[in-house]
């Protein structure tokens, strides 16, 4: 199956600036949610695979706790952002057309994982420059989900978080709401303690500088285009019923919340052999 989404992710400039997305307090909040879910489900001495890992912020933090972790991504430039001193394996792979050789390599190294995470990565696999074809998009989702299951042990857990389609809307109200939420997240995640006027002023200033920063502005601009070219689920229910139909995973829990966009966070258990 043709997968022209490579063009989006082979963009070296994007890989160069993407790491800065970690500076947003709302992304840190989302990452923390995923981090906590991983710790709930990973057994002692368990293995974690970070699918479409990008700069691998969450799995880096998990590896520091002593778990075995590795990442897979289509873009080798994203790997350049991962600390080379880390005990961490990377594989370059396309989850839509997963190379059988790569699966053998992972199996032979005993790297089938107990838990997999795919953070803002599943929708990314559907980012196409050409006009959208709904059937083709559904096939990409299905095939990539099946490929993700091949990286997991029997009954393995997959934690997915993806933006829902309302994240595309860039109205003035949404921008204002985003800035307000980012200021609150900045206070909660980085300044801590009770909210005071002084903290509000400090956080507002930090957020303003962050949003006006050239690199951050570039990420937001690229992301806008990628979201536009991607197939996003309308709602949590739609995503759950799609996964149910595939019979590859069984959904265990979901929640959705406004982070950088409106994200759903979903935990599922592998049901295929
Ligand atoms: C929005 S970034 C998210 C990165 C990371 N998970 C994070 O939360 O920061 C999407 C990632 O998906 C990767 N990607 C896109 N299509 C892919 C595919 N078909 N197979 C593997 N990775 C893919 C991109 O290279 C990029 O690193």
Question: What confidence tens digit (pLDDT) does each residue in 156-176 have?
Answer: 999 999 999 988 887 888 889
Pocket of ligand 1 (CB under 6 A): 5, 9, 52-55, 57, 73-75, 78, 94-96, 119-121, 124-125
Q: Are 49 and 151 in contact (CB under 8 A)?
A: yes
> Which of 52, 57, 160 has the most ligand 1 atoms within 8 A of CB, as the residue to mutate?
52
Q: How confident is the model at residue 261 (pLDDT cuts 50, 70, 90)?
A: confident
> What distance in angstroms lies between residue 226's CA and the mean position of ligand 1's atoms?
11
Which range, 2-11, 111-120, 161-170, is most confident?
Answer: 111-120
CATH 3.30.70.100 fits 6-165+231-270, yes or no: no
Residue whose CA lies nearest to ligand 1 atom number 16: 125
- Residue 20: its pLDDT value, please? 82
Report whether pLDDT(83) > 70.
no
Report whether pLDDT(6) > 90.
no
The ligand 1 atom at the shortest distance from the C-alpha of residue 9 is 25
Report whether pLDDT(97) > 70.
yes
199 alpha-carbon distance from chain centroid: 30
Q: How confident is the model at residue 87 (pLDDT cuts 50, 70, 90)?
A: low
Strand 152-163 with 262-270, pairing: antiparallel
> What distance in angstroms lies between residue 182's CA and the mean position of ligand 1's atoms?
23
Q: Are 103 and 148 in contact (CB under 8 A)?
A: no
The ligand 1 atom at the shortest distance from the C-alpha of residue 118 is 6
HEC profile of the chain: CCCCCHHHHCCHHHHHHHHHHHHCHHHHHHHHHHHHHHHHHCCCCCEEEEECCCCCHHHHHHHCCCCEEEEEECCHHHHCCCCCCCCCEEEECCCCCCCHHHHHHHHHCCCCEEEEEEECCCHHHHCCCCCCCHHHHHHHHHHHHHHHHCCEEEEEEEEEEEECHHHHCCCHHHHHHHHHHHHHHHHHHHHCCCCCHHHHHHHHHHHHHHHHCHHHHHHHHHHHHHHHCCCCCCCHHHHHHHHHHHCCEEEEEEEEEECCCEEEEEEEEECCC
Q: Are 270 and 158 in contact (CB under 8 A)?
A: yes
Predicted TM-score (pTM) above 0.75: yes
- What is the domain partition of the chain in residue ranges? 6-165+231-270, 172-218
> Which of 124, 126, 141, 223 has the most ligand 1 atoms within 8 A of CB, as the residue to mutate?
124
> What distance in angstroms lies between residue 213's CA and the mean position of ligand 1's atoms?
23
């Amino acid at each position: 199956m043709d997968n022209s989404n490579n063009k989006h992710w082979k963009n070296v400039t994007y890989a160069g600036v993407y790491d800065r997305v970690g500076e947003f307090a709302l992304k840190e909040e989302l990452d923390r949610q995923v981090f906590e879910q991983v710790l709930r489900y990973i057994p002692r001495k368990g293995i974690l695979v970070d699918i479409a890992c990008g700069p691998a912020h969450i799995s880096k933090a998990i590896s520091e706790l002593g778990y075995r972790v590795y990442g897979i991504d289509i873009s080798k430039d994203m790997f350049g952002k991962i600390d080379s001193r880390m005990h961490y394996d990377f594989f370059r792979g396309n989850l839509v057309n997963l190379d059988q050789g790569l699966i053998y390599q992972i199996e032979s190294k005993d790297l089938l994982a107990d838990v997999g995470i795919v953070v803002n990565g599943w929708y990314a696999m559907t980012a196409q420059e050409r006009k959208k074809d709904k059937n083709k998009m559904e096939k990409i989702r299905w095939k990539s989900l099946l490929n993700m299951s091949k990286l997991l042990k029997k009954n393995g857990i997959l934690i997915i978080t993806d933006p829902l389609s309302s994240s595309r809307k860039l109205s003035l109200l949404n921008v204002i709401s985003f800035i307000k939420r980012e200021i609150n997240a900045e206070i909660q995640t980085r300044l801590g303690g009770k909210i005071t006027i002084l903290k509000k002023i400090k956080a507002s200033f930090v957020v303003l500088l962050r949003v006006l920063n050239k690199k951050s502005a570039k990420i937001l601009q690229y992301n806008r285009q990628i979201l536009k070219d991607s197939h996003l689920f309308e709602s949590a229910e739609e995503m759950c019923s799609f996964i149910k139909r595939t019979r590859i995973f069984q959904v265990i829990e979901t929640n959705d919340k406004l982070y950088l966009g409106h994200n759903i966070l979903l935990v599922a258990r592998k049901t295929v052999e």
